[in-house]
Amino acid sequence: MNIFELDSPLMWAWHLTNECNMLCIHCLWPSGPRMKFQNELSTAESLDLCKKIADFGIPYVALSGGEPLLYPGFWEVSRCISDNAMQLKIESNGQFIDKETAVRLSKLNLKSVQISIDGASPKTFSLVRQGGSFEKAVSAVKYLVEEGVDVEIVFVPTKLNINEIEKTIDLAYSLGAKAFLTQKTMYLGRAISNWKNIGLNNEDYAYISTVINKKSKEYKNMKILFYPYDSIEELQHYIQYPPASPLMISNGKVILTTSIPYVVADVRKHSMEEIWERYKKGWRHPKVKEWVEEVTKNPEKLSLAHNFVDLSV
């Protein structure tokens, strides 16, 4: 896929709010209680943007955070996406999804709901996803599956939970999840300050690969996928093959990806056509290439990835 030949994105990645009820030790942003970004889009602005996304022909929207259900206009935005025939993915920690909420979510045009479960026990879950409830996350999956929603369970491996990855896959299957997704842990956000306690080595990832291969044969009706790139490897891949999915953070700024500190557009200032062209130009900008080269040599510079500055494109 070559994004430079596309007239519009294939997906709109929407960081709906940075507010979250949890303080996960590996959070990319980081998000947390009272950590909403200044000047986040209002519900009215988000609904206006939703219609523009639909008119531009983007078929798929992913809502994330923070915790997207904490955004005041979550339901209005989700309904707008669904009513405009766009597929919707919701990336949630599951803490606010009870039976009633699951029923309500099931009436949307959902591609899937992603629930993060970083462990097979309450103790391990709480170590990684601080402030969260293992039981609530598990119940969220149960309620969603009961309502016919496709659920993806996401597991971020760390030193604290790698020994429970096999049991977590078993749990995902027992709950009726459609997919179990895991990846290399990203050296970004809050993960950087916790890296000594969570960072894995090549032997750890070899073990994860062994488990994934074993469980893929055992559970053929559930997708079990491992994303093979860390932060640097992902950047090296993206610089050659940029994704067709602009990432908009909750204040309306459009960036290339979470690990590059450049803002290429602003939904409050630019049309969708302008945003898409600026996004594509951003990936070819010399400063972006320089950034990738710099962090490849010195990964510690990724600590500056969220010091966003405007890029002249």
Quick check: helix, strand or coil at residue 152?
Answer: strand
Residue 191: which region, alpha, beta or left (left: phi > 0; alpha: psi -120 to 50)? alpha
Q: Does domain 8-228 have CATH number 3.20.20.70?
A: yes
Cis before 30? omega within 30: yes
Minimal CA–CA distance to 291: which of 269, 264, 253, 268? 264
Are the CB atoms for 16 and 77 separated by under 8 Å?
yes
Nearest to 282 by CA among 308, 259, 302, 310: 310
Q: How many residues does the chain have?
A: 313
pTM above 0.95, yes or no: yes
Tokens of 75: 């339901």
CA pseudo-torsion sign 233, 236, 264, 226 = negative
Domain regions of the chain by residue span: 8-228
The Cβ of residue 33 has, within 10 Å, a number of other Cβ atoms equal to 12
Would you write out the chain's pLDDT as a tens digit for each of its 313 residues?
899 999 999 999 999 999 999 999 999 998 999 999 999 999 999 999 999 999 999 999 999 999 999 999 999 999 999 999 999 999 999 999 999 999 999 999 999 999 999 999 999 999 999 999 999 999 999 999 999 999 999 999 999 999 999 999 999 999 999 999 999 999 999 999 999 999 999 999 999 999 999 999 999 999 999 999 999 999 999 999 999 999 999 999 999 999 999 999 999 999 999 999 999 999 999 999 999 999 999 999 999 999 999 999 9
**Residue (of 94, 101, 140) closest to 116 by Cα position:** 94
